[in-house]
Chains A and B, each alone.
Chain A
Amino acid sequence: MLAMFSFKQVDFSPNQAIVKQYVTDFETLKVKAAHFYQIVSGYQKSNEGNEQLVRAYYEVRTAFKKVEFIWEYVDPIYVKEWVNGAPLPKLDKSAPQLVIIDPKGLQVIDELLFADELDLNELSKVTIELNKAIQDYPIQQKLSDRVILEGMRIELIRLFNLGLTGFDVPASNRALEDAQVVFAKIESTLSFYTEAVQQKNQVVSIACNEAIVKGKKQLNADVDFDSFDRLKFLIEVVNPLYKSIGQMQQLLEVESIYEVVPSSSKIALNYNATNLFASDFLNPFYYVNLPQKRYTPELVELGKYLFFDPLLSASNERSCASCHNPQKGFTDGLAKSVATGFNGTVDRNSPTLLNVVYSERFFHDLRADALEDQMEHVVASDKEFNTNIIAIMRKLSLSNEYQQRFNQLFADYPNPINQQTISFAISAYVSSLHSFNSPFDHFVRGEASNLTASAKRGFNLFMGKAACGTCHFAPNFNGTVPPLYIESESEVLGVLANPYDKVLILDKDEGRISAKLKEGAPFYRYSFKTPTIRNVALTAPYMHNGAYATIEDVIDFYNNGGGLGIGLAVPYQTLSSDSLHLTKQEKADLIEFMKALTDTTGLTSKPIVLPLVQGESLLNNRKVGGNY
């Protein structure tokens, strides 16, 4: 009886106080945005520089950073589109034809203010839009504790991946100042809950406080962007706080997102995870059509048989493993995979399947919306399986063993061997290829203490000076964008046809522009998916065309500013053409770090025999994995 009525007696005032503070902070943002707009409107170019503009801009940034953790959590699309999205053009996905949206918001202003030559017209245009977007916005005035607490956890992911890496300030080098503002806001917000948490659990309260103290000290120390120790901040501050706030949410009996969203919603981030490098930090079932409740060891086993079974191809000689060999990190070691009939090659380099599931879209050109759709393309391609799904269904039905397995797992389907069930099985196997137990993961999670000093320096370079982490986002180090991990990015790098040639020319593969009917925008020409860096030691050669033989050569390519950096014309290159100025030692450190991301433990076994086929006995001569 007591428990039932207790909720009525507790005066839960943190919520009111935090909401009130949020509204005040938002009103301040409106004032600062209006002020910046006034300064820009009245600005005359002079020799005195643009300090006045920069100062007013920094005030808007600071005001924005104070509301970011809530605003971005409750209206992420708005903030991205109008206030703080990447400074790149993008497509209006809801439009019924190709509509390009010009970049706008703070990141565009950041680049304009710190350009060699100030484009006042452009700055004025972007500022007018930013001011209007902020002034017109109706402030949320009703926020649950769930939104506040989860918003802070998401803000920690954002801070680590987009703030401290410099992603969010492409030109002004203000990453550390922003981080201080964000961190102070988290500290003050948490303080409203301190008393209630202390009453429930001292341990959590103390852990939280320790992380706050350390975080403040590290962020306020006398360090610059390049020398800030991101690994230490991750281990001592971000991860402990991420865990503590999650515990606070449970202790205070605040509902979680899973108790709130419609039952059909899938969420990419696993809110129950307690560490940014936990092996279950992301929810693989968000990215695949395969429903979580169907994911069983039996289904993974069936998928594994199908993966290695050349029955899926017209010739009965080619399987998924033909291009995705477990011994080579699920690639084939070739620049481009061999085509059917050993007649030339397919168009691109075979990507690893380890952790491949954590992606919104598939293929180097992002043409498939789901892992299951990716398979359809392979089935139909005359260079690959060269068949169709009805033929595959017929051949699998010849096998009593396959029939039994499908019948058992998909008894609710009128015809258990069908397009969806075949793709679910393969998808289950591919989803099982989790690789989150590398030496680096163990170190970050505190399960091991042996990471070389070089690898530690390499991580800090990766997330800082070398800017790798602004596209290869932690923890999977691929193009799936934090903090929500629901969108896959592609980049224009200016990859060369052959970096070892005397005459250097751009690879002619146009990538994303010709991949999807709805994405034929000029800025997607030569644009390719950002793959995971994990297991890169096993997956040479590199890039979509496999033209780069070693990691060293890839790093040199980036260090030189991509195609544009070596003087080629690469319209819309998204990689900065400036040199990264990496020293020899720094390059070696980066490689040492990337090698510490290798983990194929328990993932490389093959079936010993394939299911027998009745009726067409010649098919039983087929080899596990096929002949390619």
Chain B
Amino acid sequence: MKKLLLSTLTVGFALATTAQIPFPVNIDTAWSTKTVWMPRSPLTYQTLFVGGTDTVQTTATYGKAAGQALAKQWHDFIGFTPETDPVKIAEGDLGWITVNHEMTIKNDSIGDGGGMTVFKLRRLNGDVLEIVPQTLADGRNGKFFNIDFVNTVGETGMNCGGISTDDGRIWTAEEWMQNSNTAIFNNGNNFRDTTDFVIGTTTPAGFPGFNGRTIKRFQNLNWFVEVDPKSGKAIRKQYNWGRAGWEGGALMPDNKTVYLFDDNTPGLLGKFIATTAGDFTAGQLYVHGQNTPGNWIAIENNLDTLIALRTVALRRGATMFTRLEWGALNKTNGKIYVTETGNDNPGTAFKNGASASGTIPNHLVSAYKNRYQTVNGMPFPGTDAVASDSVRNGAFKDYYGRVLEINPESGEVKSFLEGGPYLNSSTSQASSAYPNIHLSNPDGLNFAYINGKTYMIVQEDLNGRTWNRMPAEFQSGSQTVCESFLLDMANANPTYNDLVRITACAPGAEITGGIALDSKTFLFNSQHPDAGNIFPYNNSLTYAVSGWDGVPTAINEYFQSTQNSKGFTAYPNPVASELTLNKVTDVAIYDMTGKRVKVMRNTQKIDVSDLKPGAYFLLNADGDKIKVIVQ
């Protein structure tokens, strides 16, 4: 009874502050108003590689001669292999860009399954980029090349994330876990070849120690695969790193230690230490086990064990993560950061993992207790062991996820940045500052070092929009909007409040692959965007955002600078794609005739990319108005 009374009171309070303001359909435009001219954005955008449109040069495959094919779509990871030849560097050559295709489809020329495309990038004056035509060692000639997997290491499936090292070595990761030949054959739609695969029968030859071993075709999927961007060929499947739903990885400065991230519930955190720096064909594999002394469980270099890595690891007590995605080394502090994207409904996943002997991670127990307190308005009424049981039984609907920090010295893993905000079940409401202040399902992660500061780039890949995690206004329409954020790493204990949303995406796109080539240029992929966008923004594409070094202050301050000032202002003006208001408010946009064209409630960002160029009026809930120019 007490609880009900309390909530009713709060409701009354909430209502008093949120009475709705209707905006008239038409207004008189004869009123005078000021046009606030704001600085132009220093950032420039450039499209580089368009799926389904650009032609890739293919090798001779499945008995078909070398030729051309339209590039696959679903761009995901971006790798960068810097040019090292001083002559070429002087000409402006930056290096080779590799792009993953997160799909599986039959293709006579490129090869079945997923794939990867490579091209070379050069920077001209004024930060303009161009694709450099190349002739590869195998005679292929053109701008875009598919990486030949079929003739080198066997097909790949669902090329999602990967590893891009400072010295330009590239591994692509095959994420979606395959369990049978029937499934990958898929009625002939995906992989035509389901014969057994013999390691070492392709060129370059196989893998030391495993050559001659016969495995099922589906077992040749779900590995890390090293590729050579310069020759457009795969080098080897990294069998000694084990087989799992690998999404990403990160290499340490010792050039020996590599961290591996498994996208699954329960997912593994792997670590491989090479015997010799730079040679990853020999070394020791570990999986994280928080109850094991030193935190790492050794896995022997036995092919059968490696094929069944997840099963073996859980049996030995591996820590069970909730879908690890991308990770990267922060070169400034030497720690590894990885996204744990979360799971709306873990169901029996942890229970099954635990019955195999997997371990519930300490950071999930803490996160569950914190969430319980927020949702129920009181602390979790039990011991950590009880909370751990709840997590094991699927009670933690971990629908926001988090960013984890791995300490390479101790092997300890802790939550660095929790997603949120969680809401109280009876009294609170979705954040009015959404989407500016929230973090949901972090996925892509990288670091940028600009003007002496270190920034984490975090990209979302929303698992869902349920649980009232977005305000009602954002539930409408068919598309989820994934955000890209920057975090200033000078902040040792950040929360989602410290994230700065960066406007760096093509209209309507979901962002993947974010990587900083240097302090000037970031590359992003726009994955499966809406076909209603104008060409080329209606295909998966790779694009560059340049000019970061020209941002006048620290980037996070720059993006926040126009916020929370007095009066009513909008930045930038003139505007091309997105307006940022100086405060969260209800706002209506009117065209020059005074007709209402948009109404946004509780917002600070307005997408104007669909408005015809011209002048518009903005009217906010206080009756303040300004004029903006849409370019």
| Interface of A toward B, CB cutoff 8 Å | 1, 3-8, 10, 12-13, 15-16, 19-20, 23, 27, 30, 73-78, 81, 92, 94-99, 101-102, 132, 135-147, 250, 252-255, 257, 259-268, 285-286, 288-293, 367, 370, 372, 377, 380, 388-390, 412-413, 418-420, 486, 514-518, 520
Q: Is the CB of B623 within 8 A of A5?
A: yes
Q: Is the CB of A262 within 8 A of B481?
A: yes
Greatest chain A CB density within 10 A among B22, B430, B600 is at B22
For the complex formed, measure the closest distance between the CB of A20 and the CB atoms of chain B, giving whole angstroms: 6
Q: Is the CB of B183 within 8 A of A263?
A: no
| Residue of B with least CB distance to A370 | B531
Q: Is the CB of B425 within 8 A of A138?
A: yes
Q: Is the CB of A262 within 8 A of B345?
A: no
For the complex formed, measure the closest distance between the CB of A45 and the CB atoms of chain B, giving whole angstroms: 26
With known contacts A145-B20, A291-B538, A138–B467 Cβ distance under 8 A = yes
Q: Is the CB of B508 within 8 A of A97?
A: no
Cβ–Cβ < 8 Å partners of A98 in chain B? 179
When the two chains form the complex, which single residue of A16, A78, A263, A413 contacts B466, counting CB atoms closer than 8 Å?
Answer: A78
Q: Is the CB of A4 within 8 A of B425?
A: no
Q: Give the distance in Å from the alpha carbon of A516 to the alpha carbon of B190 in the complex.
A: 9
When the two chains form the complex, which single residue of A15, A255, A367, A412 contacts B19, counting CB atoms closer than 8 Å?
Answer: A15
| B 394-447 contacts with A by CB, 8 A | 395, 397, 423-426, 428-430, 432
Q: Is the CB of A267 within 8 A of B183?
A: no
Q: Is the CB of A137 within 8 A of B4?
A: no
When the two chains form the complex, which single residue of A4, A8, A96, A260 contacts B599, counting CB atoms closer than 8 Å?
Answer: A260
Q: Is the CB of A77 within 8 A of B176?
A: no
Q: Is the CB of A292 within 8 A of B532?
A: yes
Known: A94-B344, A260-B598, A389-B70. 10 other contacts (CB 8 A): A4-B24, A7-B21, A27-B4, A30-B426, A73-B472, A144-B601, A147-B472, A255-B599, A264-B508, A292-B532
| Residue of B with least CB distance to A510 | B187
For the complex formed, measure the closest distance between the CB of B574 and the CB atoms of chain A, giving whole angstroms: 17
With known contacts A94-B344, A390-B68, A74–B508 Cβ distance under 8 A = no
Q: Is the CB of A142 within 8 A of B18?
A: yes
Q: Give the distance in Å from the alpha carbon of A15 to the alpha carbon of B344 in the complex.
A: 32
| Interface of B toward A, CB cutoff 8 Å | 4, 7-8, 11, 14-15, 18-28, 31, 52-53, 68-70, 104, 106, 108, 175-177, 179, 182-184, 186-187, 189-190, 245, 247, 263-265, 323, 343-345, 347, 349, 375, 395, 397, 423-426, 428-430, 432, 463-468, 471-473, 475-479, 481, 507-508, 529-535, 538-539, 588, 596-602, 607-611, 623
Q: Is the CB of A140 within 8 A of B468?
A: yes
When the two chains form the complex, which single residue of A253, A293, A372 contacts B23, counting CB atoms closer than 8 Å?
Answer: A253
With known contacts A140-B468, A263-B607, A413-B535, A12–B22 Cβ distance under 8 A = yes
Cβ–Cβ < 8 Å partners of A96 in chain B? 175-177, 245, 247, 263-264, 323
For the complex formed, measure the closest distance between the CB of A377 and the CB atoms of chain B, giving whole angstroms: 8
Q: Give the distance in Å from the alpha carbon of A140 to the alpha carbon of B14 in the complex.
A: 11
Q: Give the distance in Å from the alpha carbon of A143 to the alpha carbon of B538 in the complex.
A: 33
Q: Is the CB of A418 within 8 A of B53?
A: yes
Cβ–Cβ < 8 Å partners of A3 in chain B? 24, 26-28
Cβ–Cβ < 8 Å partners of B610 in chain A? 263-264
Q: Is the CB of A380 within 8 A of B24?
A: no
| Residue of B with least CB distance to A377 | B189
When the two chains form the complex, which single residue of B22, B53, B345, B601 contacts A10, counting CB atoms closer than 8 Å?
Answer: B22
Q: Is the CB of A515 within 8 A of B24?
A: no
Cβ–Cβ < 8 Å partners of B186 in chain A? 514-517
With known contacts A145-B20, A253-B22, A514-B186, A265–B425 Cβ distance under 8 A = no
For the complex formed, measure the closest distance between the CB of A435 and the CB atoms of chain B, giving whole angstroms: 24
Q: Is the CB of A145 within 8 A of B478?
A: no
Q: Give the distance in Å from the alpha carbon of A13 to the alpha carbon of B609 in the complex.
A: 34
With known contacts A96-B176, A517-B190, A75–B473 Cβ distance under 8 A = no
A-B contact pairs, 23 of them (CB 8 A): A3-B28, A7-B24, A8-B21, A27-B426, A75-B465, A75-B466, A138-B428, A138-B467, A139-B468, A140-B472, A141-B11, A141-B428, A252-B22, A253-B22, A254-B22, A259-B596, A263-B507, A264-B507, A264-B610, A265-B477, A292-B532, A390-B70, A515-B186
| Residue of A with least CB distance to B157 | A517
For the complex formed, measure the closest distance between the CB of A108 and the CB atoms of chain B, giving whole angstroms: 15
| Residue of A with least CB distance to B610 | A263
Q: Is the CB of B176 within 8 A of A266?
A: no
For the complex formed, measure the closest distance between the CB of A125 and the CB atoms of chain B, giving whole angstroms: 12
Q: Is the CB of A7 within 8 A of B479?
A: no
Q: Is the CB of B265 within 8 A of A140?
A: no
Q: Give the distance in Å from the alpha carbon of A8 to the alpha carbon of B23 in the complex.
A: 9
Cβ–Cβ < 8 Å partners of A380 in chain B? 106
Q: Give the distance in Å from the alpha carbon of A145 to the alpha carbon of B473 in the complex.
A: 11
Q: Is the CB of A515 within 8 A of B187?
A: yes
| Residue of A with least CB distance to B537 | A264
Q: Give the distance in Å from the alpha carbon of A429 to the alpha carbon of B609 in the complex.
A: 28
With known contacts A15-B19, A261-B476, A262-B508, A517–B466 Cβ distance under 8 A = no
Q: Is the CB of A6 within 8 A of B24?
A: yes
Q: Give the distance in Å from the alpha carbon of A133 to the alpha carbon of B601 in the complex.
A: 28
Cβ–Cβ < 8 Å partners of B623 in chain A? 5, 8
When the two chains form the complex, which single residue of B4, B430, B478 contacts A486, counting CB atoms closer than 8 Å?
Answer: B478
For the complex formed, measure the closest distance between the CB of A627 and the CB atoms of chain B, giving whole angstroms: 26
When the two chains form the complex, which single residue of A13, A75, A136, A267 contacts B425, counting CB atoms closer than 8 Å?
Answer: A136
With known contacts A77-B466, A390-B68, A517-B190, A143–B472 Cβ distance under 8 A = yes
Q: Is the CB of B429 within 8 A of A141?
A: yes
| Residue of A with least CB distance to B623 | A8
For the complex formed, measure the closest distance between the CB of A259 and the CB atoms of chain B, giving whole angstroms: 5
| Residue of B with least CB distance to A382 | B188
Q: Give the distance in Å from the alpha carbon of A13 to the alpha carbon of B22 in the complex.
A: 11
Q: Is the CB of B104 within 8 A of A517?
A: yes
With known contacts A6-B24, A253-B24, A517-B176, A390–B531 Cβ distance under 8 A = no
With known contacts A94-B463, A141-B429, A286–B599 Cβ distance under 8 A = no
Cβ–Cβ < 8 Å partners of A102 in chain B? 347
Cβ–Cβ < 8 Å partners of A132 in chain B? 395
Q: Is the CB of B28 within 8 A of A95?
A: no
Cβ–Cβ < 8 Å partners of B508 in chain A? 262-265
Cβ–Cβ < 8 Å partners of B602 in chain A? 142
For the complex formed, measure the closest distance between the CB of B48 and the CB atoms of chain A, giving whole angstroms: 14
Cβ–Cβ < 8 Å partners of A141 in chain B? 11, 14-15, 18, 428-429
Cβ–Cβ < 8 Å partners of B27 in chain A? 3-4
Cβ–Cβ < 8 Å partners of B607 in chain A? 262-264
Cβ–Cβ < 8 Å partners of A265 in chain B? 476-479, 508
For the complex formed, measure the closest distance between the CB of A529 and the CB atoms of chain B, giving whole angstroms: 15
Q: Give the distance in Å from the alpha carbon of A163 to the alpha carbon of B176 in the complex.
A: 38
With known contacts A388-B108, A518-B176, A136–B463 Cβ distance under 8 A = no
| Residue of A with least CB distance to B4 | A27
| Residue of B with least CB distance to A71 | B468
| Residue of B with least CB distance to A11 | B19
Q: Is the CB of B477 within 8 A of A261?
A: yes
| Residue of A with least CB distance to B462 | A94
Cβ–Cβ < 8 Å partners of A95 in chain B? 265, 343
For the complex formed, measure the closest distance between the CB of B611 and the CB atoms of chain A, giving whole angstroms: 8
Q: Give the distance in Å from the alpha carbon of A520 to the alpha carbon of B38 in the complex.
A: 54
For the complex formed, measure the closest distance between the CB of B473 and the CB atoms of chain A, giving whole angstroms: 6
Q: Is the CB of B187 within 8 A of A514?
A: yes
Q: Give the distance in Å from the alpha carbon of A259 to the alpha carbon of B52 in the complex.
A: 32
Q: Is the CB of B538 within 8 A of A259?
A: no
Q: Give the distance in Å from the alpha carbon of A142 to the alpha carbon of B433 in the complex.
A: 13
Q: Is the CB of A101 within 8 A of B347?
A: yes
Cβ–Cβ < 8 Å partners of B19 in chain A? 12-13, 15-16
Q: Is the CB of A266 within 8 A of B24?
A: no
| Residue of B with least CB distance to A76 | B475
For the complex formed, measure the closest distance between the CB of B322 and the CB atoms of chain A, giving whole angstroms: 11
With known contacts A1-B31, A138-B424, A259-B596, A75–B22 Cβ distance under 8 A = no
When the two chains form the complex, which single residue of A142, A250, A290, A367 contacts B472, counting CB atoms closer than 8 Å?
Answer: A142
For the complex formed, measure the closest distance between the CB of A322 and the CB atoms of chain B, giving whole angstroms: 21
With known contacts A264-B533, A265-B477, A94–B28 Cβ distance under 8 A = no
